[in-house]
A and B are shown apart, each in its own frame.
Chain A
Amino acid sequence: DQQVKQNSPSLSVQEGRISILNCDYTNSMFDYFLWYKKYPAEGPTFLISISSIKDKNEDGRFTVFLNKSAKHLSLHIVPSQPGDSAVYFCAASYGYGQNFVFGPGTRLSVLP
Chain B
Amino acid sequence: EPEVTQTPSHQVTQMGQEVILRCVPISNHLYFYWYRQILGQKVEFLVSFYNNEISEKSEIFDDQFSVERPDGSNFTLKIRSTKLEDSAMYFCASRAGQGFTEAFFGQGTRLTVV
Contact = CB atoms under 8 A, between A and B. Distances in A.
Interface of A: 32, 34, 36, 41-46, 49, 51, 89, 96-105
Binding site secondary structure of chain B: strand
Nearest to B31: A97
B108 A41 contact: yes
A103 B31 contact: no
Given A99-B48, A100-B45, A44 B105 contact: yes
Report, as a range, how many residues of chain B touch the other chain. Answer: 20 to 34
A96 B102 contact: no
Interface in B1-44: 4, 6, 31, 33, 35, 41-44
B16 to A, nearest CB: 27
Nearest to B44: A102
Interface of B: 4, 6, 31, 33, 35, 41-45, 48, 50, 55-56, 58, 91, 93, 95, 98-100, 102-108, 110
A105 B42 contact: yes
A98 B102 CA distance: 11
A89 B98 CA distance: 21
A43 B103 contact: no
27 contacts: A32-B99, A32-B100, A42-B107, A43-B91, A44-B43, A45-B105, A46-B103, A46-B105, A49-B100, A51-B100, A89-B43, A96-B98, A97-B31, A97-B55, A98-B48, A99-B33, A99-B45, A99-B48, A99-B56, A99-B58, A100-B45, A102-B35, A102-B42, A102-B44, A104-B41, A104-B42, A105-B43
